[in-house]
């Protein structure tokens, strides 16, 4: 759930997303400064549990995060997550979110600090709906691509016979 690669290892290339979107949002850094950002979300059936998020400010290098798709889905309607990534609806009235007027807050923490992102709920919901069309909730473990995702994370090539 971190946006930094382990020491000595380069970042593994992310699988090409099957579903992606870019949402306008804002980032509040350490609770002090709020800046406009573009939040890009990506999802691939080869890694069915994960969503990749890239936050672009246009000023600093993009910050990258990987976390569970279920976390975003749950966070649309109620507070979700622990530790590094937390998601909750703002305002906390589901009726406003269903009408597409609400926002969702995503708080990401690392040793370098904490950032609170705000994104339109309608944009995030549309992205998640498209991911669920690709791989339905609960069907992730039936997808035959888990070995491909593990190989991708480890930066390994898979052979045609499925061996690594």
Q: Which domains does the chain have, with CATH numbers?
A: 19-134 (2.30.31.20)
Which residues, in sequence order, are CB contacts of 118 under 8 Å at separation 6+?
Answer: 25, 26, 27, 28, 90, 103, 104, 105, 106
- Is residue 6 very low, low, confident or very high in pLDDT (cuts 50, 70, 90)? very low
**What pLDDT was estimated at residue 70?**
93
pLDDT of residue 103 exceeding 50: yes
Q: What share of the chain is helix, strand, coil (3-state, %, to 5)?
A: 25, 35, 40
Q: Which tens digit of pLDDT belongs to each residue from 144-155?
A: 555 565 566 566
Q: Is the pTM of this model over 0.75?
A: no
Q: How many of the other CB atoms lie within 10 Å of CB of 164?
A: 11
Q: How many of the other CB atoms lie within 10 Å of CB of 45?
A: 19
Q: How does DSSP assign 30-44, residue by residue?
A: TTTEEEEEEEEEEE-
pLDDT of residue 105 exceeding 60: yes
């Amino acid at each position: 759930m971190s946006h930094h690669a382990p020491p000595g290892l380069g970042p593994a290339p992310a699988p090409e997303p099957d579903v992606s979107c870019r949402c306008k949002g804002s980032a509040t850094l350490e609770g002090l400064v709020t800046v406009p950002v573009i939040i890009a979300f990506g999802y691939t059936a080869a890694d069915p549990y994960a969503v990749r998020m890239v936050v672009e400010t246009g000023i600093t290098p993009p910050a990258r995060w990987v976390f569970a798709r279920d976390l975003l889905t749950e966070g649309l309607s109620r507070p979700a997550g622990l530790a590094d990534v937390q998601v909750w609806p703002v305002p906390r009235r589901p009726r406003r979110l269903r009408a597409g007027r609400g926002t969702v807050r995503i708080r990401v923490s690392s040793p370098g600090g904490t950032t609170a992102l705000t994104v339109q709920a309608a944009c995030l919901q549309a992205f998640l709906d498209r991911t669920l069309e690709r791989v339905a909730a609960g069907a992730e473990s039936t997808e035959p691509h888990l070995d491909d995702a593990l190989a991708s994370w480890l930066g390994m090539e898979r052979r045609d016979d499925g061996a690594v």
